[in-house]
Amino acid sequence: SAVISQKPSRDICQRGTSLTIQCQVDSQVTMMFWYRQQPGQSLTLIATANQGSEATYESGFVIDKFPISRPNLTFSTLTVSNMSPEDSSIYLCSGRTDEQFFGPGTRLTVL
Amino acid sequence: GQQLNQSPQSMFIQEGEDVSMNCTSSSIFNTWLWYKQDPGEGPVLLIALYKAGELTSNGRLTAQFGITRKDSFLNISASIPSDVGIYFCAGPRMDSSYKLIFGSGTRLLVRP
């Protein structure tokens, strides 16, 4: 399957700031997703990143807090805006062809 | 709504032992997926099951798709230290089949 890389791998940020996470897939995928994994928890889908149009957000997640871009079939960004300590999580990028696969995640700590 | 319940929540086993974990739901699934997440990494697909009753192996791993389509189990034979990690079951959501719902995970710890 394709390989996903994410940048940064981890970051420590101050409350009130924003962080943009980049996701790069080494081949074209039909769909891209962003997940959040809070400490010790399972994966929760934030949104589906749509190429060239607005992302589709899941219940409880909004564009103002988690703006997402997907300019082409292999790249997407997720921004975590106006961060608070509750945003401390692992953020995972995922791609789908025949199967769904994941990037290594970005571990975010908000102080 | 759909939920996937995994058990046990965690297990601490001796190296060389066999391991069994399962995933149940009140809803019917047409596909069952088993992922493993190593510490500091994203989940990796281990086994995919597409048919009720299907039994599929991947090395020391064996998974079965329950006949009722409401459960699945994963067995690991002769566990080794690198089996440490979190195992998630997953399946397609009823409202959007290309989106996955994940179980709560089983954390496996192996005593050398």
Which residues does A contribute to its contact with B (CB < 8 Å)?
1, 4, 31, 33, 41-43, 45, 48, 92, 94, 96, 99-105, 107
Contact A31 B43 (CB under 8 A): no
Within 13 Å of residue B47, how many CA atoms lie on the same side as its CB?
24
- CA A83 to CA B22: how far, in whole Å? 37
Number of residues written out for chain A: 111
Span B2-26, average pLDDT: 94
Of A32, B103, A30, nearest to A21 by C-alpha is: A32
3-state helix vs strand vs coil in chain A, percent to 5: 5, 50, 45
B103 in Cβ contact with B9 (< 8 Å): no
pLDDT score of B11 more than 90: yes
| Chain A residue at shortest CA distance from B85 | A40
User: What pLDDT was estimated at residue A86?
Assistant: 96
Q: How far apart are the first and last CA of chain A?
A: 36
User: What pLDDT was estimated at residue A29?
Assistant: 92
Span B6-13, average pLDDT: 95
User: What pLDDT was estimated at residue A110?
Assistant: 98
A93 in Cβ contact with A34 (< 8 Å): yes
pLDDT score of B1 more than 90: no
Which residues, at least 6 apart from A27, have a Cβ–Cβ distance to it below 8 Å? Answer: A2, A74
Which residues, at least 6 apart from B67, have a Cβ–Cβ distance to it below 8 Å? Answer: B52, B53
Contact A101 B104 (CB under 8 A): no
pLDDT band at A13 (very low <50, low <70, confident <90, very high): very high
Q: Is A80 exposed, middle or buried, given 0-12, 13-18 or 19+ CB atoms closer than 10 A?
A: buried
